[in-house]
């Protein structure tokens, strides 16, 4: 069976099947609810949430969630951390919600509501693990994803209408401009390794409280990925990481509520040519 990770997006029935299969189990929804409450958990921590189940059983549930793209992982030294990845939920909910039965709609609706409220704090990070991350797969070449990140004509179509400006060399300034030309965010390029890694300091300016909290480190990681058997065309894995983000601060709440729309919008734009509608 094709998985959401290997599929082309919310129009692919096999991709939809992987997402809904992942949601169609009470134990897996229980794990997602707890990852929403506190992200970045180990297998041991997640196993404690299902005391009547073996560690192997929990591992199998996590594998199904990973195949559906709803959970992604990162290493902190020798420890594997699990993160809630709401992007597939957002894509499927926005496009297909009216076509599914009530129980599945309820499951998606609850998770989507949590997503829009912003995720509560995650575990303290260590050994360079990100404070928060999102991941998706896009049916295009890595060079196309890179261009969408650095080309202002494209960012205005998925990045809340903002146009990015930079020369994209290490140390170069980065600015995100509103339609009126106001600077809504800025920072500096740390690494620009085309087309695989874009790292920058990102300082939000659209809100006084966020501006006072200061800049965070944002990393966009792009790599080719293997598609499903018989698939046509290239596939690219896109991963967005935030580092040095205070899990108790307003920037964390704002970013975790907003970045899924940006990532989903980027995927939709590159695969269909049409922007994802902005959230109400």
Give residue 3's pLDDT: 34
Does residue 105 sit in the same domain as residue 228? no
Bridge partners, 173 (sequence order):
188
Q: In this predicted structure, which of 165-169, 186-190, 275-279 has the lowest mean pLDDT?
A: 275-279
Summarised one tens digit per residue, pLDDT across range 219-245 is 999 999 987 766 778 999 999 999 888
Residue 14: pLDDT band by 50, 70, 90 thresholds? Answer: low
Q: How far is residue 43's CA from residue 83's CA, in Å, rounded to a whole number?
A: 11
Dihedral pair phi/psi, residue 277, rounded to 5°: -60, 140
Summarised one tens digit per residue, pLDDT across range 174-207 is 999 999 999 999 999 999 999 999 999 999 999 9
Q: Report the residue count for the chain.
A: 280
Q: Which domain holds residue 24?
A: 13-117
Does residue 137 sit in the same domain as residue 264? yes
123 domain-assigned: no
2 domain-assigned: no
Does residue 193 sit in the same domain as residue 92? no
Average pLDDT over residues 158-183: 95
Summarised one tens digit per residue, pLDDT across range 2-13 is 333 434 344 455
Domain count for the chain, please give it: 2
Instruction: Say whether pLDDT at 276 is over 90.
Output: no
> Angle, to 10 degrees, between the axis of helix 102-117 and the axis of helix 26-37?
10
By CB atoms closer than 10 A (0-12, 13-18, 19+), residue 128 is exposed
Question: In the 8-state DSSP scheme, what is residue 245?
Answer: -
Name the average pLDDT for the chain: 82
- Comparing CA positions, the residue from 188, 183, 213 lying closest to residue 200 is 188
Does residue 144 sit in the same domain as residue 99? no
The CATH number of residue 222's host domain is 3.30.530.20
Does residue 166 sit in the same domain as residue 216? yes
Does residue 63 sit in the same domain as residue 165? no
Summarised one tens digit per residue, pLDDT across range 239-258 is 999 988 887 889 988 888 78
Summarised one tens digit per residue, pLDDT across range 113-124 is 554 444 444 444
Average pLDDT over residues 150-175: 96
Q: Which of 60, 92, 117 is the last residue of a domain?
A: 117
280 domain-assigned: no
Summarised one tens digit per residue, pLDDT across range 61-99 is 999 999 888 898 988 888 899 998 877 776 666 665 544
């Amino acid at each position: 069976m094709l998985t959401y990770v290997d599929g082309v997006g919310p129009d692919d029935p096999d991709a939809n099947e992987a997402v809904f299969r992942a949601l169609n189990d009470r134990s897996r929804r229980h794990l997602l609810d707890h990852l929403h409450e506190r992200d970045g958990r180990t297998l041991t921590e997640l196993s404690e949430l299902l005391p009547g189940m073996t560690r192997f059983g929990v591992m199998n549930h996590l594998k199904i969630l990973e195949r559906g793209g709803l959970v992604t992982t990162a290493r902190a030294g020798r420890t594997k951390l699990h993160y809630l990845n709401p992007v597939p939920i957002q894509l499927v909910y926005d496009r297909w919600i009216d076509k599914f039965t009530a129980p599945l709609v309820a499951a998606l609706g609850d998770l989507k509501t949590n997503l829009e409220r912003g995720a509560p704090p995650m575990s303290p990070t260590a050994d360079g693990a990100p404070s928060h991350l999102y991941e998706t797969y896009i049916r295009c070449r890595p060079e196309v994803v890179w261009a969408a990140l650095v080309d202002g004509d494209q960012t205005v179509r998925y990045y809340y209408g903002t146009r990015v400006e930079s020369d994209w060399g290490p140390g170069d300034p980065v600015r995100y401009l509103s339609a009126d030309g106001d600077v809504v965010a800025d920072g500096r390029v740390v690494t620009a390794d085309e087309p695989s890694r874009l790292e920058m300091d990102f300082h939000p300016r659209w809100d006084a409280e966020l501006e006072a909290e200061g800049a965070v480190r944002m990393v966009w990681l792009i790599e080719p990925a293997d598609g499903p058997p018989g698939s046509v065309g290239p596939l690219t894995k896109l991963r967005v990481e935030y580092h040095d983000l205070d899990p108790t601060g307003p920037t964390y709440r704002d970013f975790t509520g907003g970045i899924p729309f940006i990532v989903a919008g980027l995927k939709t734009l590159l695969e269909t040519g049409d922007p994802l509608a902005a959230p109400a």
